Chain A
Amino acid sequence: MAKDASPVPGLAFPRETFAKLTPAPFLHAHLKQAKPVRPSGRAVGDFREPTINIGSLSHSNGSAVVRLGDTAVVCGVRAEILLASDIPSPPKEDLSESQMLENLGLIVPNVELSTGCSPNHLPGNAPGTQAQALSYRLSSLLYSSEMLRPQDLRIEYTTPQTDDDLPDQGPQVVTKAYWTLYIDILCIALDGNAYDAAWIAVIAALQDCKLPKAWWDQDREMVLCSPLASEASKLHLRDVPIPATFAIFSTLSPLKQRSEADHWVMADPDEFEAALCAEMVTMVVRTGAGINDSIVRIEKHGGGMVGRTAMKECFGMALARAKNIRRVLQID
């Protein structure tokens, strides 16, 4: 053997190689330290701070760009008029206000992931399962949280008094049209937790959303809008709920005793972490001044590591996160 051969390289990989070759042991090695640190340098309970920029799209009624670490989402709200006469089966009178929005479908969110935001979503493709599921979860939360007031989306007309009317009867108010909000969410970079980022973007865009003054013109039998920006009105959002997503990494495997398994609850997972976790928890909470802390939605599937105690911890973290996000969004 040649004596001047270079020393045998050690059996050590650079960090990136380790992460690529065996992602799960790589994450485990980070988490099993005395003070667990995630590969991104965050502690397990750390969320990524959002950066929010509102009103960047000039042609939409409201818009926002939200950045959460390496996840970036653009949201635009476009308001269109739906004439009451065009509704094939108008909602019945006895329907509650909130169900009316849902029945008419006045809020239409759509998530687009096929923008080249991540290698898992080829650009230009039809929306995949993840994008469709995301759209549906957002729409479900928009309706079930009853955040938008139905009266903000109504275009009403007060019929003038005629001689035929009974004198003691007040003027009659008829809803001639509704505003429909098309909420388009484009994910321009995806590094995990698209749901939280998308929801923050939706809230910021809705806060920014201005509807022009609209009225029914009886002579022309159509809805007219005022071009004056000064007459436009903002939407009023009630008790905005804020989501927090957690991913649970566990060492449980079918080849091991259940009691030997360890697990870590990681807040706001990035793509690398989310891909290694079978269990995800999303908790949507309401908090803030004058609001009792409550849960609006829990979505948890897979795994089996999160029981009642872990859920309680998640609730605590979700509340703290919600307070922080409300501050950033300037709700309180």
Chain B
Amino acid sequence: MGPDISHHPLAGADGSATISSNLYSVLAAVNGPIEVQRRDELPEEAAIEVNIRPASGVGGPRERWLESVVTAVLRSVLLVHMHPRTLIQVTLQLTTGPTLKLKNATRDISVLPSLVNAAFLALVDGGLPLQSTVTAVLLAVSGEEVISIDPAEKELAGCKSVHALAYTQHGDLLLNESAGNFNLEVWEEVADRAEKACVAAVALASEDDEMANGTAEAAPWLRRELEEKARDAVAWRDHT
């Protein structure tokens, strides 16, 4: 389970990845560390610039806001102090989006997990030094207070509240954007489910565990993806 991922689709960028979940497809490209404009230079760490381009049209205030959210998350994922006075540039291009007419707040939050996951995979592909592994999930709470992970479009359209959360492999909450109408108990349950899903995505799981609770949220999809990538990276040794 997990989204469809392809690594390094772009030859020109230092790192790139595409990720397609049931709602969004995102193409991410990373360049860095590269030279930074004097204006943006930080003396002790790398500056991070995120550019988000919507599937159609040009970006506006909405994209600026999404960029500021993704930047804050990446700043806590990257080891920025290793490349002071440089720039790490991340470009995220949305390629497909939901077709149903969603409320603006729901639409904004539903795109965040895809953006964060895509940016993270591109950073890995670009070989940038990272301090943690981050996974983001989207959850929707229906009118009957049923929580669903990775909801379908229909569930999103009728949901009472929507939550985007990102956790590191240690279970640190890096991102939480929630909108709708909910109380603290619902949020706690949402956070609990999200943490389990995020930690499971990078957990060491044997085949047996997977067979036992073979649910979507327990699949270590990100770990598998990263392990495969690591294997490919050292494959040349076996050929020599």
Q: A residues near B, CB below 8 A? A: 99, 102, 129-130, 132-133, 135-137, 139-140, 143-144, 253-255, 258, 278-280, 286, 292-308, 311-312, 315
Within 8 A of A (CB), among B53-108: 60-62, 64-65, 67-69, 72-73, 75-76, 79, 81, 103-105, 108
**Chain A interface main SS type:** mixed
Within 8 A of A (CB), among B137-196: 168, 170-184, 187-188, 191-192
Q: In the complex, which residues of chain B have a beta carbon less than 8 angstroms from the beta carbon of A144?
A: 103-105, 179-180
Interchain residue pairs A-B with the least CB separation, the first 8: A304-B172, A302-B72, A144-B105, A132-B64, A133-B65, A301-B72, A132-B61, A136-B61
Q: Quick one: given A99-B103, A301-B73, are A308 and B65 in contact (CB under 8 Å)? A: no
Q: Is B6 an interface residue (CB 8 A)?
A: no
Q: Is B131 an interface residue (CB 8 A)?
A: yes
Q: Quick one: given A132-B64, A143-B105, A296-B179, are A301 and B69 in contact (CB under 8 Å)? A: yes
Q: In the complex, which residues of chain B have a beta carbon less than 8 angstroms from the beta carbon of A132?
A: 60-61, 64-65
Q: In the complex, which residues of chain A have a beta carbon less than 8 angstroms from the beta carbon of B104?
A: 102, 140, 143-144
A144 to B172, CA, bound (A): 28
Other-chain residue from A133, A278, A298, A305 in contact with B176 (beta carbon distance below 8 A): A298
A280 to B174, CA, bound (A): 10
A194 to B79, CA, bound (A): 29
B181 and A301 within 8 A (CB): no
B79 and A129 within 8 A (CB): no
Other-chain residue from B65, B76, B79, B178 in contact with A303 (beta carbon distance below 8 A): B76
A297 and B64 within 8 A (CB): no
A311 to B62, CA, bound (A): 26
Q: Convert B38-63 into 0s and 1s, putting 1 for each residue whose CB lies closer than 8 angstroms to a CB of A.
A: 00000000000000000000001110
Q: Quick one: given A278-B72, A297-B179, A301-B174, are A308 and B191 in contact (CB under 8 Å)? A: yes
Shortest CB-to-CB span from B114 to chain A, Å, is 16
